[in-house]
Amino acid sequence: MRLSNRKAFTLVELLVVIAIIGTLVGLLLPAVQAAREAARRNTCAANLTQLSKALAIRETSTKDLPGYINTLGIKGSTKMVRAPWYVTIFPQLEQNQLYQNWSSGNMSFDLVEGGNFAALEILNCPSNPPVMQGQPLTSYVANTGWRNKEGFTGKSGHVNLENAANGLFFDRTRTSDLKNQTPTPNWVTSQDYRDSNGAPKVTMSFAYVQGKGDGSTKTLMLSESLASLYWAYANSNDYTTVQDQPYHFGFGWERPDYIATDLKSRINGSRDPIAYDSYAQSSQGMDQMFNTAPSTGDLNPRPGTASSNHPGGVNVAFMAGQVELLTDQIDPFVFGQLMTSNHKQSDLPTDAVSVEPSDDAF
Please tell me the predicted confidence (pLDDT) of residue 158. Answer: 42
* CA separation for the pair 160, 60 (Å, rounded): 30
CB distance 208 to 341 below 8 Å: yes
Average pLDDT over residues 166-179: 84
Residue 99 domain flag: yes
For residue 137, CA distances in Å to 3, 125, 131, 147 come to 73, 10, 10, 21
- Condensed to tens digits (0 to 9), the pLDDT of residues 221-274 reads 999 999 999 999 888 888 888 888 899 999 999 988 888 888 888 999 988 888
Residue 5 belongs to a domain: no
Return the closest-CA partner of residue 80 out of 173, 206, 186, 189.
Answer: 173
What percent of the chain is modeled with pLDDT above 70?
Answer: 81
Q: Which has the closest alpha carbon to 222: 100, 71, 84?
A: 84
**What whole-number distance in Å separates Cα of residue 40 and Cα of residue 240?**
36
- What is the phi/psi pair of residue 83, to 5°? -130, 135
Nearest to 302 by CA among 290, 316, 291: 290
Radius of gyration over every alpha carbon of the chain, rounded to an integer in angstroms: 24
Residue 7 lies in a domain: no
Lowest mean pLDDT among 219-228, 341-350, 353-362: 353-362
What is the mean predicted confidence (pLDDT) over 350-361? Answer: 48
Query: How many domains are contained in the chain?
Result: 1
Q: How far apart are CA 313 and CA 308, in angstroms?
A: 7
The answer to which of 117-126, 251-260, 295-304 has the lowest mean pLDDT is 295-304
> Looking at the predicted structure, is the pLDDT value of residue 1 above 80?
no
User: What is the structure's pLDDT at 355?
Assistant: 46
pLDDT value at 187 more than 70: no
**3 state DSSP class of 84:** strand
Q: Which of 299, 177, 297, 341 is nearest to 244 (CA)?
A: 177
State which residues form the domain around 296: 15-361
pLDDT confidence of residue 101: 87
Considering the domain boundaries, does residue 332 fall inside one?
yes
Does 9 fall in a domain? no
**Highest mean pLDDT (candidates 49-53, 67-71, 101-105, 272-276):** 49-53
Q: Report pLDDT for 251.
A: 96
pLDDT score, position 154: 38
Q: Taking the chain, what is the end-to-end CA distance rounded to the nearest angstrom?
A: 105
Q: Is 146 inside any structural domain?
A: yes
- Between CA 294 and CA 351 the distance in angstroms is 24
Does a structural domain hold residue 188? Answer: yes
β partners of residue 317: 222, 323
* Average pLDDT, rounded, for the chain: 83
Tell me whether residue 87 is in a domain. Answer: yes
Helix (H) or strand (E) holding 45: helix 11-62
Confirm if 266 and 301 have CB atoms less than 8 A apart: no
Please provide residue 230's backbone torsions phi and psi, each rounded to the nearest 5 degrees. Answer: -105, 165
**Given this model, what pLDDT does residue 151 score?**
39
